[in-house]
Amino acid sequence: ADKILQSKSALEGERKQVTVLFADVKGSMELAEAVDPEEWHGILDRFFQILADGVHRFEGTVNQYT
């Protein structure tokens, strides 16, 4: 707590430009039910990789997938 209170920048915060990407896979529930769980996992992994590649191409960072 003392370290935080002594750091002026920690208390003031900082301003950053961020972009939020929201993507929905149309028909994903039906597809998930129609394929093997391992295959579905592979499909989602590939989907997330494509999204991450686009973010990284512009020197961005992926914070989380939900």
Task: Report the pLDDT value the prediction gives residue 8, as an integer from 0 to 100.
Answer: 65
pTM as predicted: 0.65
Domain ranges of the chain: 17-66
pLDDT tens for the 66 residues of the chain, in order: 677 667 766 667 788 888 888 888 899 999 999 999 999 999 999 999 999 999 999 989 998 888
| DSSP string of 1-28, one letter each residue | -HHHHH-HHHHH-------------TTH
**CA 8 → CA 1, 13, 15, 16, distances in Å?**
13, 9, 15, 17
